[in-house]
Amino acid sequence: MARLAADPNRRVPPAVEFRNVTKRFEIGGSGQAHVAVDHLNLSIQPGEFVCVLGPSGHGKSTMLNMLAGFTEPSEGYVLHEGNPVSGPGAERGVVFQRDTVFPWKRVADNITFGLKARGIRRTEREKVAAHYLKLIDLERFARAWPHQLSGGMRRRVAIASVLANRPQVLLMDEPFTGLDYVRRDKLHRVLEQLWSEVGCTVFFITHDVDEALTLADRIVIVMHGKVTFEMRVPFERPRSTELIASKDAVDLRLTLLGHLSKALTEAS
């Protein structure tokens, strides 16, 4: 499966960079501020698949929102290819945790929404829709309404809709939460297949250590608004269930869980 590899010896600007980023939220007019992200530094190379792990409420989604352009940092810079992020844009596609497939558009029209927004011609849009529908195995449902699909199918449509737009960075905020193991595994395959075709950089938030081990080139743990641990995942793709259950993977899992537990214990 072809993909862009992050070559540490090659000097290329990071696809994404958090440079001493702090984000504060005022707590309900009290004058007090909650520091969601605290002088965070992180670089992600082009084509890299980074999974961000960490407990709830420790700044992961805030990082994603800043990278998506939905909010601005209080201090520091969030950069995309060296340029400060200012507002949402098609070059940074977002797959949300909640269902965002447009209910009033058919499946094929959902997939080509971004293309239409950018003025791509109909014939080209139809080709792209056909291609992605085939990749996500939903060719028969091109004219279906989203309410006629299952949750897993709508997730596939959501991912295809964002990737059909060919973003340079793909941001995913716990996109498979609530799905059962079988559906989740299937969606992992779909995501990897689409990602290998598009070759974008991926910023993927998850609570699931196994999911991170299955998908990531690099796992970053964020706690209390800071990067506290980073680790490369040395396994080749595709990563089977047997590989994730192997001794090497278990060791990595224990390392990650150990770090998470220790950091939480020290904080309390």
Applying the rule CB under 8 A, the residues between 132 and 151 that interact with another protein are: 145-148
**Which listed residue (1, 117, 257, 267) binds another protein by CB under 8 A?**
117
User: Which residue, 53 or 136, has its beta carbon nearer to another protein?
Assistant: 136
Q: How far is the CB of 5 from another protein (least distance, A)?
A: 27
Nearest to 169 by CA among 64, 52, 36, 24: 64
- Cα–Cα distance between 44 and 53 in angstroms, integer? 15
The piece of 44-52, 110-118, 177-185, 235-243 that touches another protein (CB under 8 A) is: 110-118
Contact 190, 218 (CB under 8 A): no
Q: How many helices (H) and strands (E) does the chain have?
A: 9, 10
User: Which residue, 165 or 201, has its beta carbon nearer to another protein?
Assistant: 165
Q: What is the DSSP string of 47-85?
A: T-EEEEE--TTSSHHHHHHHHHTSS--SEEEEEETTEE-
Beta bridge partners of 202: 49, 170
User: Which residue, 64 or 187, has its beta carbon nearer to another protein?
Assistant: 64
The piece of 5-13, 68-76, 176-184, 221-229 that touches another protein (CB under 8 A) is: 68-76
Please tell me whether residue 218 adopts helix, strand or coil conformation: strand
Q: Does 105 bind another protein (CB under 8 A)?
A: yes
Q: Does 13 bind another protein (CB under 8 A)?
A: no
- Cα–Cα distance between 252 and 191 in angstroms, integer? 23
Count of residues engaged in binding another protein, rule: CB under 8 A: 30
- Applying CB under 8 A, the residues found at the interface with another protein are 68-70, 87-90, 92-94, 96, 98, 100, 102-106, 113-114, 116-118, 145-148, 161-162, 165
